[in-house]
Amino acid sequence: MKRQTSNVLDKRKYLDPTMVAKIDNMALRARLVVEGYLIGQHKSPYHGFSVEFAEHRAYGHGDEIRHIDWKLYGKTDRYYVKRYEEETNLRSYILLDTSQSMTYSSRSISKLEYASYLSAALTHLMLNQRDGMGLVLFDEKIRKFIPPRASASHANIIMGALDNINTGEDTQIRATLDHMAERIKKRGLVILISDLLDDPEQVLMGLNHFRHNKQEMIVFHLLDRQEHDFQFGDRTKFKDLETGETITTEPWHIRSAYQKVIESFQRKYQLGCRNQRIDYVPLFTDQPLDIALNEYLNKRKRTG
Is there a domain that residue 210 lies in? Answer: yes
Q: What pLDDT score does 51 carry?
A: 33
Dihedral sign (CA 62, 75, 54, 40): positive
pLDDT tens, position by position, 9-63: 577 899 999 999 999 999 999 999 998 888 766 444 444 433 334 466 677 766 7
Residue 74 burial (CB < 10 Å; 0-12/13-18/19+)? Answer: exposed
pLDDT tens, position by position, 173-215: 999 999 999 999 889 999 999 999 999 999 999 999 999 988 9
**Containing domain of residue 187, as a range?**
88-303
Which range in 12-21, 94-103, 167-176, 227-236 is most confidently predicted, on average pLDDT? 94-103
pLDDT tens, position by position, 111-144: 999 999 999 999 999 988 888 999 999 999 999 9
**Burial state string for 15-33 with b = 16 or more CB within 10 A and e = fewer than 16:** bbbebbeebeebbebbbbb
Q: What pLDDT score does 85 carry?
A: 46
Count of CA atoms in the C-beta half-sphere (13 A) of 256: 1
Q: Which of the listed residues 58, 83, 108 is the one where a domain comes to its end?
A: 83
The verdict on 102 and 68 lying in the same domain is no
Looking at residue 233, its amino acid is: G
CA distance 63 to 48: 23
Cα 11 versus chain centre, distance: 20
- For residue 267, what is the domain's CATH number? 3.40.50.410
pLDDT at 78 over 90: no
Is there a domain that residue 41 lies in? Answer: no
The verdict on 273 and 149 lying in the same domain is yes
Looking at residue 189, its amino acid is: L
Is there a domain that residue 2 lies in? Answer: no
The verdict on 51 and 121 lying in the same domain is no
The verdict on 165 and 280 lying in the same domain is yes
Count of CA atoms in the C-beta half-sphere (13 A) of 185: 0
Q: What is the pTM of this model?
A: 0.81
Element (H, E) at 137: strand 132-138
Is there a domain that residue 42 lies in? Answer: no
The verdict on 139 and 56 lying in the same domain is no
Q: Is the CB of residue 151 less than 8 Å from the CB of residue 134? A: no
Is there a domain that residue 70 lies in? Answer: yes
Is there a domain that residue 189 lies in? Answer: yes
Is there a domain that residue 22 lies in? Answer: no
pLDDT tens, position by position, 136-178: 999 999 999 999 998 888 999 999 999 999 998 788 999 999 9
CA distance 80 to 11: 33
Q: What pLDDT score does 162 carry?
A: 97
Provide the domain count of the chain.
2
pLDDT at 67 over 50: yes
Q: What pLDDT score does 229 carry?
A: 80
The verdict on 294 and 146 lying in the same domain is yes
The verdict on 77 and 127 lying in the same domain is no
The verdict on 194 and 236 lying in the same domain is yes
CA distance 99 to 112: 9
pLDDT tens, position by position, 240-282: 666 667 777 666 677 788 889 899 999 999 999 999 999 999 9
The verdict on 148 and 258 lying in the same domain is yes
Looking at residue 161, its amino acid is: A
Q: What pLDDT score does 180 carry?
A: 96
Q: What pLDDT score does 6 carry?
A: 52
Looking at residue 302, its amino acid is: R
Is there a domain that residue 144 lies in? Answer: yes
The verdict on 101 and 195 lying in the same domain is yes
Q: Which of the listed residues 55, 83, 111 is the one where a domain comes to its end?
A: 83
The verdict on 75 and 135 lying in the same domain is no
- Determine which of 22-36, 58-72, 217-231 has the lowest per-residue pLDDT on average: 58-72
Q: What pLDDT score does 240 carry?
A: 62
pLDDT at 301 over 70: yes
Q: What pLDDT score does 55 carry?
A: 60
CA distance 127 to 123: 6
Count the neighbouring beta carbons within 10 Å of the beta carbon of residue 179.
Answer: 17
Closest Cα partner for 185 from 148, 131, 139? 148
The verdict on 263 and 295 lying in the same domain is yes
**What number is the average pLDDT over the span 67-75?**
75
pLDDT at 69 over 70: yes
Beta strands 236-239 and 216-223: pairing type?
A: unpaired
